[in-house]
Amino acid sequence: MKWSDHTLRGFWVPFAFGAMSLVGLQTGLPTFAQADEGKIEVTIKDDGYHVKGHTTPGALTRIILRNEGTMTHGFSSRILKDVPVRKEGDAKEVVAHGVKSFHVDAGKTATLVFTKAVKHDSSTGISETEQYGFWCDIHPQMKGEFLIVETRGEVGGG
């Protein structure tokens, strides 16, 4: 799967420059086409979540959940509520308080794959940055958040 990621990027780079020269001039922001992939890495420890990365609106998004703690932890977010989620790896899907949650046992890793619909701002024609909180339904004090950003920016390598 890694190779297709690179192929896509190679393909989109020239396209991005074209899009930027059209849209970027007006907004001053580097806007990017939607057909991209976003990766968010969530390392789960017993004392909380550590989040790396973000995704872009309309992008195929992978949330990688790595449980480095000593007990089972959950990942639940309202972003999972209205989208079909494909689960890869070791997670158990449950419903907690009416919201989907994915339980990952200690030492296990799972990936959630989904695409969140693009939300366009009708006045500017660009999509909005949104912040999504998530939480552990087993330990309510555990909380984290990630971003869906309209700009491409630096996607922290790795």
* Buried/exposed code over 59-85 (b: 16+ C-beta within 10 A; e: otherwise): bbbbbbbbbebeebbbbbbebbeeeeb
- Residue 67 CB, shortest distance to Cu ion, in Å, is 9
Determine, following the binding rule CB under 5 A, whether residue 42 of this chain makes contact with Cu ion. no
CB contact at 8 A, 40 and 65: no
CB 36 within 8 A of CB 50: no
Question: For residues 23 and 138, which CB has a smaller minimum distance to Cu ion in the complex?
Answer: 138
Yes or no: say if 11 and 33 are a contact pair by the CB < 8 Å rule: no
108 is an interface residue for Cu ion by CB under 5 A = no
Nearer residue to Cu ion within complex by CB, 142 or 149 = 142
Return the number of the residue (103 or 116) whose C-beta is nearest Cu ion. 103
Minimum distance from residue 82 beta carbon to Cu ion (Å):
24
* Binding flag, residue 65, Cu ion (CB under 5 A): no
Report the b/e string of 125-143 with b at 16+ CB within 10 A.
Answer: ebbeeeebebbbbebeebe
Should residue 136 be labelled a site residue for Cu ion when binding is judged by CB under 5 A?
yes
* 68-87 binders of Cu ion (CB under 5 A): 73
Rule CB under 5 A: is residue 138 a binding residue for Cu ion? yes
139 binds Cu ion (CB under 5 A): yes
Which spans of this chain sit near Cu ion (rule: CB under 5 A)? 73, 136, 138-139, 142
